[in-house]
Amino acid sequence: MKKHINVVGAVVVRGGRVLCAQRGAGALDGLWEFPGGKIELDETPRSALEREIVEELLCRVEVGAEVATTTHEYDFAIVTLTTFYCELVEGEPQLTEHADVRWCTPSEMAELPWAPADVPAVDQLRIDLGA
């Protein structure tokens, strides 16, 4: 049976733009995603996201309302992705494990090749933030 993993992603918005990250080598190589990662056993979704952002982007966010929850079956696993609006509260995002990070308008976001699990969240953001 395929493993099921619970993942959280940060939708960091500033001045109408959203922080988008491109995956490096490995699964879903080169596709775009929201920074974040797997929820560990002792964590809530929000505490996992705070930790992941410190580890990946070397800055701190405050986690707000949920954007979307979706489940997608990949060939390697079934992923349930929950995205949350986040506010940057300390530092600037730094590129560490991603191939690229960009601040995109909702219409620029729609042009990027996203990891399939992220597409409903990207659509929701275009509604919330305006295309």
Q: What is the dihedral of CA 76, 67, 35, 29, to 10 degrees?
A: 40
Smallest distance, Å, CB 11 to ligand 8DG?
Answer: 9
Q: Is 53 within 8 Å of 35 (Cβ atoms)?
A: yes
Residue among 18 and 79 whose Cβ is closer to ligand 8DG: 79
Encoded tokens for 59? 């800055």
Please answer whether residues 92 and 101 qualify as being in contact, where contact means their C-beta atoms are separated by less than 8 angstroms: no
Tell me the C-alpha distance between 16 and 118, whole Å: 19
Q: Which residue is nearest to ligand 8DG (CB)?
A: 33
Shorter beta-carbon distance to ligand 8DG: residue 33 or 50: 33
Can you give the binding site for ligand 8DG, defined by CB under 6 A? 5, 7, 9, 26-28, 33-34, 36-38, 79, 81, 115, 117-118
